[in-house]
Amino acid sequence: MKLLYPLKINNDFAFNSSSRDFIVTEIPLYEFSGEGEHLVLKVRKKELTTWEMILRLAKHLGIDKRDIGYAGLKDKHAMTVQHISILAKHEEKLSSFDDEYIKILSTTRHNNKIRTGHLKGNRFDIRLKKVLGVSRDKLDSSLEWIKENGVPNYFGVQRFGIEGDNYLKGKEIIDGKLKIKDRKMRDFLISAYQSHLFNAWLSKRVELSLLADEFSQKECEGILGVAEGTFEGIKGQKNFFKLLKGDQMMHYPHGKLFEVEDVAKESARFCTRDISPTGLLSGKRATHATASAFTLEEPFIEPINADGSRRYAWIWAEDIKKKYIAEKAHYELSFTLPKGCYATNVLDVLRGS
Active site residues: 75
Q: d(Cα 38, Cα 246) in Å, to the nearest integer?
A: 45
H-helix or E-strand spanning residue 313: none
Q: d(Cα 147, Cα 200) in Å, to the nearest integer?
A: 25
Query: Residue 171's Cα: distance from chain center in Å?
Result: 22
H-helix or E-strand spanning residue 39: strand 38-46
Q: d(Cα 186, Cα 178) in Å, to the nearest integer?
A: 10
- DSSP codes, 230-294: TTTT-TT--SSS---TT-EEEESSS--EEE-S-HHHHHHHHHTTSEEEEEEE-SBTPPPP-HHHH
Q: Which amino acid is at 321?
A: K
Instruction: Tell me how far CA of residue 279 lies from CA of 32, 202, 243, 312, 352, in angstroms.
Output: 33, 7, 12, 6, 22
Classify residue 211 as left (phi > 0), alpha (psi -120 to 50) or beta: alpha
